[in-house]
Amino acid sequence: MIAANDKTVKSTVTIAPDGKEIKQHGTPDFPCGYYGKPNGIQAPWHWHEEYECTVILQGENYAHTPQGQFLMRAGDGIFLNSGTLHTSEPIPGRSCLANTLVFHGRLVYGSTDSIFYRKYIRPLTLPSAPAMVLLHKNIPWQSEILENIKKVSRLCQNKPEGYEFTVRNLLSEILFDIYCYRNVSEAQPAAVNCFENDRIKQMLAYLQENYNRPVSVAELAAHANICQRECLRCFSKLLRLSPIQYLIRYRISRACILLKDTDQSILEIASACGFESPSYFTKTFRQHVGCTPTAYRGRRR
């Protein structure tokens, strides 16, 4: 059965059974969310329809996608295409401040019948398009994107009259730059097989639907119609985690949410998150988070 020790994990991201993040970024009529909090919380692997852009302001942080693990330093950033699996990982003992934008493409193109979508956005949905682009301050076109992310972040913070027009224009420039440079080698760190990407999403969905009970690797592999060896290879290649490690991370992330947002007892939370006993839950939680569930709840409140 899947159970093992793993690294410290904290999360505030809510994930649907298919691995898709459940969150309205911005508002329905202006779907652009700005996030400028210290980047010190690790989320489970997830994806969303929106594009995501991040620039590191201070410190360092790891970004993880199926293309690899990337150390991002102050001044650098990352662009994540729609549907890209990703997570971020704080570096122990090091603080990190970042500006992150999460926005839906319809804010730029309006309708899928528009020329903006057909000519410029649809090519970014093709398998040949980069799932992610690392942004380095010393590369001119990438530096321009980084500056536009900062400009949009300031506008979303201050919200001056008419800022929505300027934000839409700047986001259009960002997507147009990605469109123009989508085929350059520096925009594609590594290729990922689309079939493998869909397969890992299918297996993550199964684990997230069944995290509150024991799940064997054999059961997970059977769900994806592959052998156990291929299941382990797929997790290792795309997530650099085993199914064991992912499930433990997800269980702990769910426990953190319940501890913070509900009054359920430790016994109830342990059972709801798939732990066989409160003592095992407390032991595992301490190994991952660095404190007991009770202490975590007290700090969060």
Residue 279 lies in a domain: yes
Q: Is 26 a domain residue?
A: no
Number of independent structural domains in the chain:
2
Region at 47 (left for phi over 0; alpha for psi -120 to 50; beta for the rest): beta
Q: Are residues 183 and 203 in the same domain?
A: no
Nearest to 101 by CA among 164, 31, 153: 153
- Going by C-alpha positions, the residue among 180, 179, 175, 28 that lies closest to residue 108 is 175
Q: Are 2 and 216 in contact (CB under 8 A)?
A: yes
45 & 180 share domain:
yes
Q: What's the token pair of residue 29?
A: 């009529």
1 within domain boundaries:
no
Question: Within a domain: residue 88?
Answer: yes
159 C-beta neighbours (distance < 10 Å), count: 12
Among the candidates 187, 218, 240, a domain finishes at 187
At 82, list the tokens.
């729609």
Q: Answer with the one of 120, 153, 187 that is the final residue of a domain.
A: 187
37 and 175 together in one domain: yes
- Shared-domain flag, residues 130 and 202: no
| 6 lies in some domain | no
At 6 the pLDDT is 38
Tens of pLDDT, residue by residue over 48-103, are 999 999 999 999 888 989 888 899 999 999 999 999 999 888 777 777 899 999 99
Say if residue 162 is in the same domain as residue 288. Answer: no
**Segments of the chain with pLDDT less than 50:** 1-12, 39-40
Are residues 223 and 181 both part of a single domain?
A: no
d(CA 194, CA 83): 11
CA torsion sign for 147, 43, 230, 198 is negative
pTM of the model: 0.74
Domain range holding 231?
194-300
Helices and strands (DSSP H and E) totals, the chain: 11, 7
Asked if the structure places residue 76 within a domain, the reply is yes
The residues, ordered by sequence, that sit 6+ positions from 135 with a Cβ below 8 Å of its Cβ are: 55, 76, 77, 78, 79, 142, 143, 145, 146
Q: Please indicate, yes or no, if residue 216 is contained in any of the structural domains.
A: yes
Of 147, 165, 187, the one marking the end of a domain is: 187
- Range 109-142 burial, b when 16+ CB lie within 10 A, else e: beeeeeebbeebbeebeeeebbbbbbbebebeeb
Both tokens assigned to 8 = 């410290």
Q: What is the CATH number of the domain that holds 112?
A: 2.60.120.280
Q: Closest Cα partner for 2 from 273, 187, 248?
A: 248
Same domain, 37 and 183: yes
221 and 268 together in one domain: yes
183/220 same-domain check: no
Question: Do 295 and 154 share a structural domain?
Answer: no
The residue among 227, 262, 201 whose CA lies nearest residue 44 is 201
pLDDT, position 9: 36
Are 237 and 165 within one domain? no
Q: What is the CATH number of the domain that holds 214?
A: 1.10.10.60
Residue 227 lies in a domain: yes
Query: Tokens at residue 122, please?
Result: 């649809």
Hey, which residues does 33 pair with through a beta bridge?
102
* 90 and 200 assigned to the same domain: no
